């Protein structure tokens, strides 16, 4: 009896140890072997989505496959499967999940498994990381701050639009947007999805001036005065910092639906006299069935844009090679329209400064739908480019129909902030007083020069560095896409070379 008495506690301990709560690590595989068991995830899980007492969790912040892979490739399909399998649906009946920001993390979560990739959370947990930001990302020693942002802003007409559905909702939306724009304090606001006509821009300018200083902000009059329920893009700028110059240009003709969704405007910095050009764009949206379904329309957008910019650059219309392309291009980083811009000599500034960030959250995945590109000369004058996470991570619980007037979730896209410090180009100035003009043009990735007789031909980049120097009557010099300065004899000409 004494021996049994001694062994009994040991036997009970061994028996119950078989039912100890397991510690597991989720890596995308099914949880079905733990069905009806309480488990502890021995890892950090990331909140990828929230909805009505549900949290959608993963082992990492999932990126859209087209951020890193090309549609239709094996890598794309493998990444798509990984993203589908990488989500745990967590029901949290005692938590108001709609107030939780995406990107928050939970470490060592305990929950009961009730499906292949679903659990019930009945215990407390702590959220970490991804707190709301209060100031824009650090732009370094920038002298000018640009902000490109979507608004879905219709004023005063809201009926039949995608904006507010009542006067009360509009007043809430107006307060949210003005709170955000005042906080951003940009020198140029490149605004997307504002109501056609001038009333919406006037309302924004009046609101900003009332919150800052009289006449500080103005809008660029694009000649569009008739209010409608259609959207356009527009510029609001600080009058003490920059001055718009030259008539704006539009890649599309007036009979196109995209006529008011793409245009180009030059600005002069008041303190330095330096000029740069901003191309603001709103490409065709996706329709929810995958990027390929509307890709043709966005390719039409980008081809019109690059053709227009190439013509203007080669004609030296804006008298400066410093070009920025901004806006909602409705394409992930590796989609065809974005690659097309890179292939034609424009440099992706978000991939340069903020490659792991995002501006949009859809179907539990993050991506860039909003982009910043620059010509090489402009890129050297950008101090930073980054999203300001005011919107994409926020639940619709804070959208203006809820009555919340904070600056958070004023839109579904995050604003993109760009810092600029303009410097004088070292490049050679153009000359127009020669009697003889040699033929200089680009073809198939080459600069072609035809002279009247043999002479020294020098090709420089926009910083004044020698790319090629030969003595010849005729020559063809292969170069990468970008802006160049050609000096042949005493004649000088700028030329833009696209990728062939």
Rounded Cα–Cα distance for residues 199 and 227 (Å): 7
Question: Is a pLDDT exceeding 60 seen at residue 75?
Answer: yes
Per-residue pLDDT at 436: 62
Per-residue pLDDT at 401: 92
Provide the H-helix boundaries in 50-92.
Answer: 74-85
Per-residue pLDDT at 290: 66
Q: Work out whether the CA dihedral 129, 135, 136, 137 comes out positive or negative.
A: negative
DSSP class of residue 53?
T
Higher pLDDT, 312 or 74: 74
**Inside any domain, residue 426:** no
Structure tokens at 425: 């180009």
User: 247 with 337, same domain?
Assistant: yes
Determine how β-strand 54-58 pairs with β-strand 217-219.
Answer: unpaired
What is the arithmetic mean of pLDDT over 57-66?
97
User: What string of DSSP letters covers 277-294?
Assistant: EEEEEEPPPP-SS-GGGG
User: 415 with 461, same domain?
Assistant: no
What is the arithmetic mean of pLDDT over 241-256?
90
Contacts for 339 with CB less than 8 Å, ≥ 6 apart: none
The pLDDT mean for the chain works out to 90
User: 268 with 317, same domain?
Assistant: yes
The top-scoring range by mean pLDDT among 30-39, 222-231, 436-445 is: 30-39
Q: What would the pLDDT profile of 105-122 be if each residue is shown by its tens digit? A: 999 999 999 999 999 999
The domain that holds 343 is classified in CATH as 3.60.10.10
Contact of 105 with 37, CB cutoff 8 Å: no
Domain count across the chain = 3
Per-residue pLDDT at 432: 47
Per-residue pLDDT at 428: 43
Per-residue pLDDT at 489: 82
Last residue of a domain, one of 104, 128, 152: 128
Per-residue pLDDT at 497: 82
- Identify the band that residue 19 occupies on the pLDDT scale cut at 50, 70 and 90: low
Per-residue pLDDT at 3: 40
Rounded Cα–Cα distance for residues 45 and 299 (Å): 37
**Inside any domain, residue 133:** no
Question: Is a pLDDT exceeding 90 seen at residue 225?
Answer: no
Question: Is a pLDDT exceeding 60 seen at residue 261?
Answer: yes
Q: What would the pLDDT profile of 342-361 be if each residue is shown by its tens digit? A: 999 999 999 999 999 999 99
User: 364 with 487, same domain?
Assistant: no
For the CA atoms of 352, 422, 274, 206, the dihedral, rounded to the nearest 10 degrees, stands at 80
Per-residue pLDDT at 473: 85
User: 389 with 455, same domain?
Assistant: no
**Inside any domain, residue 136:** no
Could you list the residue range(s) of the whole structural domain that residue 40 is in? 18-128
3-class DSSP assignment, residue 238: strand
Nearest to 322 by CA among 347, 296, 301, 300: 347
User: 220 with 347, same domain?
Assistant: yes
User: What string of DSSP letters covers 307-345?
Assistant: HHHHHHHHTTTTS---EEEEEE----TTSHHHHHHHHTT
Rounded Cα–Cα distance for residues 40 and 22 (Å): 6
Per-residue pLDDT at 463: 61
User: 190 with 267, same domain?
Assistant: yes
Structure tokens at 241: 């910092």
Contact of 371 with 357, CB cutoff 8 Å: no
User: 161 with 209, same domain?
Assistant: yes
Q: How many CA atoms lie within 13 A of 182 on its CB side?
A: 18
Cα 157–159–160 angle (5° rounding)?
120
User: 334 with 401, same domain?
Assistant: yes
Q: What would the pLDDT profile of 361-416 be if each residue is shown by its tens digit? A: 999 999 999 999 999 999 999 999 999 999 999 999 999 999 999 999 999 999 99
């Amino acid at each position: 009896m004494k021996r049994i008495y001694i062994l009994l506690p040991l036997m009970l301990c061994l028996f119950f140890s078989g039912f100890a709560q397991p510690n597991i690590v989720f890596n995308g595989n099914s949880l079905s072997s733990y069905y009806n068991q309480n488990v502890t995830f021995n890892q950090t899980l990331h909140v990828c989505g929230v909805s009505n007492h549900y949290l959608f969790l993963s082992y990492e912040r999932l990126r859209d496959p087209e951020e890193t892979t090309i549609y239709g490739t094996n890598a794309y399909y493998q990444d798509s499967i990984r993203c589908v399998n990488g989500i745990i649906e967590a029901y949290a009946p005692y938590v108001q999940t709609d107030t939780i920001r995406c990107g928050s993390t939970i470490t060592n979560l305990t929950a009961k498994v009730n499906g292949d990739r679903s659990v019930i959370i009945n215990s407390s947990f702590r959220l970490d990381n991804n707190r709301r930001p209060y100031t824009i990302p650090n732009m370094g020693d920038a002298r000018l701050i640009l902000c490109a942002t979507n608004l879905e802003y219709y004023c005063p007409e809201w009926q039949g639009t995608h904006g507010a559905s009542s006067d009360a909702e509009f007043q809430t939306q107006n307060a949210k947007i003005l709170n955000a724009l005042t906080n951003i304090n940009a020198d140029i606001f490149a605004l997307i999805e504002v109501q056609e006509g001038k009333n919406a821009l006037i309302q924004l300018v009046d609101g900003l001036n009332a919150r800052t200083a009289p006449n500080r902000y103005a809008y660029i009059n694009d000649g569009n005065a008739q209010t409608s329920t259609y959207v356009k893009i527009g510029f609001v700028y600080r009058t003490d910092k920059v001055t718009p110059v030259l008539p704006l240009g539009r890649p599309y003709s007036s009979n196109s639906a995209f006529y008011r969704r793409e245009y180009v405007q030059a600005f002069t910095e008041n303190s330095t006299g330096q000029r740069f050009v901003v191309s603001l764009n709103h490409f065709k949206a996706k329709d929810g069935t995958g990027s390929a379904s509307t890709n043709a329309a966005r390719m039409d957008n980008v081809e019109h844009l690059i053709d227009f910019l190439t013509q203007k650059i080669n004609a030296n219309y804006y008298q400066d090679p410093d070009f920025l392309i901004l806006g909602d291009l409705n394409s992930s980083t590796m989609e065809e329209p974005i690659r097309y811009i890179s292939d034609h000599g424009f440099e992706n500034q978000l991939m340069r400064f903020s490659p792991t960030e995002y501006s949009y959250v859809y179907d539990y995945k993050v991506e860039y739908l909003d982009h910043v590109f620059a010509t090489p000369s402009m890129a050297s004058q950008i101090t930073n480019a980054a999203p300001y996470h005011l919107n994409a991570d926020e639940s619709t619980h804070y959208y203006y129909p809820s009555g919340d007037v904070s600056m958070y979730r004023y839109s579904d896209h995050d604003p993109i902030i760009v810092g600029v410090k303009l410097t004088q180009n070292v490049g050679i100035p153009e000359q127009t007083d020669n009697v003889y003009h040699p033929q200089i043009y680009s073809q198939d990735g080459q600069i072609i020069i035809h002279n009247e007789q043999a002479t020294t031909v020098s090709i420089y980049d926009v910083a004044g560095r020698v790319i090629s120097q030969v003595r010849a009557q005729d020559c063809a010099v292969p170069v990468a896409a970008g802006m160049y300065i050609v000096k042949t004899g005493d004649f000088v000409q700028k030329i833009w070379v696209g990728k062939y």
